[in-house]
Each structure stands twice: as C-alpha cells, then as structure tokens.
Structure 1
Amino acid sequence: MSLSIKTPLLESLPLSNRVGTKVWMKMEAMQPGGSFKIRGVGFAFEQHHERGAERFISSSGGNAGLAVAYAGRRLGVPVIVVVPQTSSERARSLLKMEGAEVIVHGESWFEANELARSLQTAADAFIHPFDDPLLWTGHASMIDEVVADGLRPDAVVLSVGGGGLLAGVDEGLRRNGLVNVPIYAVETHGTASLQASISAGQLVEIPAVSGVATSLAARQVCRRAFDVSEERPVIPVQVSDREAVEACLTYLNDHRTLVEPACGAALAVLYGGKVSLAELNNVLVIVCGGSTAAIESLLTLRG
C-alpha cells in the first residue's frame, strides 16, 4: 500500500502562452495531505515501520508534519509533531484532525526541532522535514511518473526551502538519464538560503528568514541540495512575496487549484517571465502544493 498517489501531469495553456513554449504541471498539490511531502515521508515511514518503529516524531507545522500525521493515521502508528509558536491555528487543527499529538514549543522551527529530537527513544523514528536520503528517494518517484507519462523535460522549475524537493527531483532525473537537465530553483527574497550558498561557493546559513512563504523558511539548505547545484545546472531565481501571492491567485483562476505562496514562488517565475524558456520544447513545473493554503489568507497577504 503506497501512502502517496500517482498525480496528474497536465499541460498548462495559460502558462505555455506566457512562457512561449509548452509548460507541463506535475500536480503534487493533489497528494493526500496537499503536498509532495507525502512521497518522501511515506517512503521513509514505510521503511522505518517495517523495521519496527513504534512511534514517529517530526518537527514541522506545515506540509511535512501533515504528511507524517497522515501516514501515521493510515498505518495506525502514533505520531508526535512539535511545532513552533509561529505555526498557524489552521496547521495545528489539521494535524490534530489527522490524529497527531501536537506539541507547541519555541519561537522557530529550529527550537521545535531540538525538542522533537530530544523526545526520540530507541522505539521511535524521527522524520526530518527535508534532510534525509529516504525522503529524496521518495520524492524522486514524481519524475519516474513524468517520464512514464511520456515527458522528458528540457528544464524543471521548482521552489526551494530546505532543499528536499530539489534533491529528490535531481535523483529522479538522474535515474531516468536526464543528468544535464537544468533546474530553476526558486526562492523568495526573504528565504534565499540556496542562492546565498551558491554565491558563496560553499554551504552557508543566512542570518534570518522572513516573508509569507513560510514553507521555504530554512536558514540553510541541506548539504545534498548544495551538492546538486555543483553537479548539474541549477539556476537560482528570486521572486518577491507579492509576486508569489499573486501567482497563487492567478493560478487558482487559471487551474482551479489552491496552492500556498511557497509553491506560488515557482509559478511566479513563469507568470512573470523571470527567465527565458521559449527556446525549450517542454518545461516541467512542480506544483508542490500547500497543506495549509487558504483563499482568505492569500487575499489578506495581497492587501
């Protein structure tokens, strides 16, 4: 029993018209829990469960935490999710709806993560939100599906937070012989930790993160994400908070699918013509989703 589902691969005429070439959408927003995270989390969950893990612990009030909670409910395994005080009431409510025990601790994810780690016993498995090879292998399955559906993209556009999606997409491209396909790695101005590392030529931590794309708010990407940027063409791109929010609203009108600003960041690159892609034949964008997205909050953020 797979905890994730095969998601649709759809051609977007609105985005294709804007970009000047065919744009294909991998609709990860349709996954259980609302985001791509269940691919990696589900794969890791199954591996740990088979080895006898009796309880699962995570430290995310967003997409990863909800994926862990969903997996725990499906497999009948108790789950603890530690979230920072900044997590929304909506996120906490969704976690509890999935049956997770929710602990609120600390002013940031880093403090919540430290507490989550301290709770782990020998009988537990810890599910990191983005830095785990099991997660990347699970995420890579989305590229397997894309290729199985007959598409071999000339470029991939995706959002980057901690870098788990980037690492997984890279793994999927590699195992399908697409080793030189460029990846446009999109961050908001306030969360550009990958760009900082690429600019520095080494893995670095930015002093602070800010803005509306809270799912991208990692001060440092995982080591694998930085390594990917040195092993294949990775083009960092930044967008503003407003551009990310506007992209979410335009995307909702165009495709009847609601996503969060973290996903809107990648879409904003296409809607705003931030990069030149017209010379390519097929561009793949990962519509990564957003478990806690709400139209009211987007309208409020737009102002």
Structure 2
Amino acid sequence: MPLHIDTPLLESRPLGQATGRQVWLKLDAMQPSGSFKIRGIGHACEHHARAGKRRFLSSSGGNAGIAVAYAGRRLGVPVTVVVPESTTDTAKALIRQEDAEVIVHGATWMEANAHAQSLRDDGTAFIHPFDDPLLWHGHASLVDEVVRAGQGFDAVVLSVGGGGLMCGVVEGLQRNGLGTVPVIAAETAGAASLAQSVAAGRRVELPAITSIATTLGAKMVCERAFALTREHPVESVVVTDAAALAACERFLDDHRILVEPACGAALAIAYGEPARLARFGRVLVVVCGGASAGLAQQREWAAALAA
C-alpha cells in the first residue's frame, strides 16, 4: 500500500457560485501528513528504502519535511530535516512529532538546502522537496484518482512553490491523455519565482521571500517546472498575501477545512478572479493543504498583514 491515501473529490457549490462554473476540489489537505507532499515523497522514500538506504535527509520549509518524517516513521527509517529560520514552530513540532531530527539553518530554504547537502553520506537518501522525477511521478497519482472517479475537467488550478506539484500534475495529465488541459499556476507576490521567470524568459532567482506563504518559498522554481511553461498550456497568476489569506478564511467558512496561504493562493483565483476561469466549464482546484495552518498561526499571519 502507498503511504498516501486517495483523497476526497467534492463539488464546491460556494466556489461554483463565486465563479459561475462547476468547481471540483481535490482535497489533499486530508492526506495523513497534511498536504499533497506525501504522494511524491512517499513514493521516493519507498524507492530508497527498497534500495537499502539507512537514513532519509531532507530540506524543507514545512510540508515536505513533515511528509518525509511521516514516511520515515512508517518505513522504520531515521529522518533528519533541515529547515530555515522562517519555518513555523508548529511545522517544526509536527516534524519532531514523527520522531525526526530537526536542524534549523539559514534564513531561506536555499541556505537550509545547502547545509542539508553537506550532511549526505553513502547510506543516506536525500529527499528533495520538489525537484525530483520520483516525486513528480508520485504527485501524478492525484490526477489518476480524478480520472478513475470519472470526473471530467477543463482546467486545473494549483499553487506553485518550487514547482513539484505542477510537474506531477502535468505528468498525470499527460499519462491520462489530457495533455492539452491548461494549468493555472498561482503564486503569492513575494514568492512568485515562476511568474518572474516566465516574464523574463529564463529562470529567475528571487532576492528574498517576502510573502507570508513561506511554504511557497523557493527563490527559484525547478528547471522542469519552467520548461513546462513552454511545453504545456500554463497560465501564471500572482495574488496578494491578503487575497490568499482571505481565501483561506472563506474556505474554512464554506468547507470547514483550514489550509495555509500557500494553498490559499490557488483558492484566491476561484474566489477573487472568476474572469480567469470564464472560458472553462469544469474546473479542478487542488486543495494542497498545509499541516501547520492552525488557528493561532492564521491569526499571526493576519496580524502581520495588518501591521
């Protein structure tokens, strides 16, 4: 059995009324690790465990680290996760809750990742949070499930950080004969490395992550994600932190599910920019989750924006 679960696929009447379209939600916030990350990370960890690796090592701003820690505990493999200083206390506690070691290093994920690379040895499998074909293959299972359920859709709305989810979704679309279905890729201002790369015609490294959506905080998207903007119909959209957080709050009211602003970026398109979906009849929104999005954290984000 895989380490991820088949998540619910629900029609959203509130979002349908907001957009004037039929909106379906793939609720990966319901994964056992709290986000879609366990799909690809679970697949990668199982692969490396079969190959005899004795430790998993990862770098993460939160959700990926939680997924690696969960996978390691389930597989009986020790885990070390290097997180940047921006990682929330809740995320660090959730990683430790899975019996993993947490090392805090650097102001950004890229600095944490460089330190993690220095800790590698022959018995260790490094689990990248987004840039690995093993991950993309696992994330593609999200589309497989929607297709198996028999639900058609004309577009996919999702959030982009480092680009792993987008890579996986496009792989899933292609292997299910849906290679022309557009992907609407949402980012928050201050973490919009994909949008800036598309505008520049080359991959751009952001000078810093200034968005509250720190789990979107890869200063540069992976090479494959950028390549897909030229190989697949991808529309890059940037929303404000305020719009992403407001979407999280509306989604909690509408569906009784609490997600983080990184996920709220995708929801903000459906709630606040219905014109972007006007040409589609049926829209699939990936509710990617966010394990550290507690009520106290939501209040902190709101206070930060108000300040």
Q: Judge same fold: TM > 0.5, yes or no.
A: yes
What letter matches 1:93 in structure 2?
Answer: A
* Aligned-partner Cα distance in 2 for 1:94–1:134: 24
Moved more, 206-215 or 26-35: 206-215
Q: What do residues 187-214 of structure 1 show as CA deviations (whole Å, max 9, x unaligned)? A: 0111111011111112221222211111
* Aligned-partner Cα distance in 1 for 2:300–2:54: 41
* Aligned-partner Cα distance in 2 for 1:140–1:93: 29
Moved over 6 A (4+): none
- Does the CA-based 8 Å contact 1:61-1:92 persist in structure 2? no
Deviation at 1:84, TM superposition (A): 1.6
* Aligned-partner Cα distance in 2 for 1:203–1:301: 29
Deviation at 1:36, TM superposition (A): 0.1
* Aligned-partner Cα distance in 1 for 2:74–2:92: 19
What letter matches 2:113 in structure 1?
Answer: N
Q: Alignment partner of 1:283: what SS? A: strand
Q: Which residue of the partner structure matches residue 205 of structure 1?
A: 205
* Aligned-partner Cα distance in 1 for 2:67–2:2: 13
Q: Alignment partner of 1:34: what SS? A: coil
- Does the CA-based 8 Å contact 1:269-1:275 persist in structure 2? no
Q: What do residues 181-237 of structure 1 show as CA deviations (whole Å, max 9, x unaligned)? A: 111100011111101111111222122221111111111100110111101111111
* 1:81 maps to 2:81: yes
Q: What do residues 107-151 of structure 1 show as CA deviations (whole Å, max 9, x unaligned)? A: 221121111111111011000010000000000000000000012
* 1:180 maps to 2:204: no
TM-score (norm 2): 0.96
Deviation at 1:94, TM superposition (A): 0.9
* Aligned-partner Cα distance in 2 for 1:108–1:301: 18
Deviation at 1:262, TM superposition (A): 0.2
What letter matches 2:299 in structure 1?
Answer: L
* 1:284 maps to 2:287: no
Deviation at 1:296, TM superposition (A): 2.0
* Aligned-partner Cα distance in 1 for 2:145–2:4: 12
Q: CA RMSD in A?
A: 1.0
Q: Which residue of the partner structure matches residue 226 of structure 1?
A: 226
Moved more, 292-301 or 95-104: 292-301
Q: Alignment partner of 2:77: what SS? A: coil
Consecutive unaligned residues in structure 1, runs of 5 or more? none
How many aligned positions are there?
303
* Aligned-partner Cα distance in 2 for 1:171–1:61: 24
TM-score (norm 1): 0.98
Identity across the alignment (%): 59
Q: Alignment partner of 2:277: what SS? A: coil
What letter matches 1:293 in structure 2?
Answer: A
* 1:117 maps to 2:114: no
Deviation at 1:152, TM superposition (A): 2.5
- Does the CA-based 8 Å contact 2:110-2:219 persist in structure 1? no
* 1:97 maps to 2:97: yes
Q: Which residue of the partner structure matches residue 191 of structure 1?
A: 191
Consecutive unaligned residues in structure 2, runs of 5 or more? none
Q: Alignment partner of 2:114: what SS? A: helix
* Aligned-partner Cα distance in 2 for 1:50–1:231: 33
* 1:27 maps to 2:27: yes
What letter matches 1:145 in structure 2?
Answer: E
Deviation at 1:105, TM superposition (A): 1.5
Q: Which residue of the partner structure matches residue 235 of structure 2?
A: 235
- Does the CA-based 8 Å contact 2:110-2:218 persist in structure 1? no
* 1:252 maps to 2:231: no
* 1:154 maps to 2:154: yes
What letter matches 1:221 in structure 2?
Answer: V
Q: Which residue of the partner structure matches residue 129 of structure 2?
A: 129
What letter matches 1:112 in structure 2?
Answer: A
* 1:66 maps to 2:62: no
Deviation at 1:274, TM superposition (A): 4.9
